Amino acid sequence: MSAAELEPDPAPTLSEIARAAGVSAPTVSKVLNGRTDVAPATRAKVEEILRRTGYRRRRTAAPPSRLLDLVFHQLDSAWAVEVIRGVENVARDEGLSIVLSESAGRLTPGQTWVDGVLARRPAGVVLVLSDLDAAQRDQLTSRDIPFVVLDPAGDPADGVPAVGTGNWQGGLAATRHLLDLGHRRIAVISGPSGMMCSRARVDGYRTALETARLPVDPELIHEGDFHHEAGYAAARALLTRDDRPTAIFAGNDLQALGVYEAARELGLRVPQDLSVVGFDDLPLARWVGPPLTTVRQPLVEMAETAARLAVELGRGEHPAATRVDLATSLVVRASTAPPPDDSPPLPTR
């Protein structure tokens, strides 16, 4: 049987896959299990036939391990800790252990990670701010390993389960809060422009200004990277302008801390001289001085929802929804106030 003769089958057997690829059944088994002792050309041929035939490992063939894979594109912030807490809550309830990994800043994990997942055969995979390319999705699907994208960086492909939050609504609420206080020169420090959540927050900011019939000044929109240092650098640039803003929507809480630092260095008081709004509502938002007004995205609940969805799919259940967006809410604290009557000049340094 040639590869061309093997038509898509709801349940092709391992032997049929092997005959189509011109290899032995043990070789196909090695590929399915992520073994590395297979020639690259042979592996590619087998994977192509698995993809084209829609092969899926039978759930009764072997039970999955008692593991839940959690992969971050970057693992270096308090934001990640909240996500881990949520996944751990579900893992504990289900009697699972967590395998934690990082894709070194890449929004798509490398093949080495995929091979490890195929070998581990976890009960499910949660990818945070990451996604899989088409070939990687096919590999996990053919092995019957369910995966869910949490807070997707881009628009997930059709059929990919995903859990997100109301980023656009959060950006709208943050900016409207500042408008209601009387601010008119409102700046925004976004996250990376390649991330869907970042673009949505800025879109909410734009919508709030346009609805209030205020112009959107592109010079008040600065791109960051969701880290403290980017918030600091962007705030320094904004606050040393002659027409500096009276309020900054920092895009996330870590960048808001950078805004605090820049304002302090420039002799500006929060909120008397500058109002600041963050996004996330990390625990540190309550501890900083002054406590930070921010948009709460329910990170723990989002992570719980994604992990539970992965586990349910792994059990062969059919959840009511595989695309879920949880609501955001504005949490008003002490970092926002009406703008000063006259913005004070910057001190000479």
DSSP labels for 163-194?
Answer: EEE-HHHHHHHHHHHHHHTT--SEEEEE--TT
Are 109 and 79 in contact by the 8 Å Cβ rule? The answer is no
pLDDT in tens, the chain (349 residues): 444 444 444 567 777 777 877 777 677 767 777 677 777 777 777 777 777 776 766 654 567 889 999 999 878 788 999 999 999 999 999 999 999 998 776 777 888 888 899 889 999 999 997 778 888 998 998 888 999 999 887 778 888 999 999 999 999 999 999 999 999 999 999 999 988 999 999 999 999 999 999 999 999 999 999 999 999 999 999 999 999 999 999 999 999 999 999 999 999 999 999 999 999 999 999 999 999 999 999 999 999 999 999 999 999 899 989 999 999 999 999 999 999 986 544 434 3
φ, ψ for residue 105, nearest 5 deg: 85, -10
Return d(Cα 186, Cα 175) in angstroms, integer: 8
Only one residue has tokens 């092997």, namely 18
Q: How far apart are CA 30 and CA 37, in angstroms?
A: 8
> CA of 307: how far to CAs of 85, 114, 148, 197, in Å?
11, 18, 8, 20
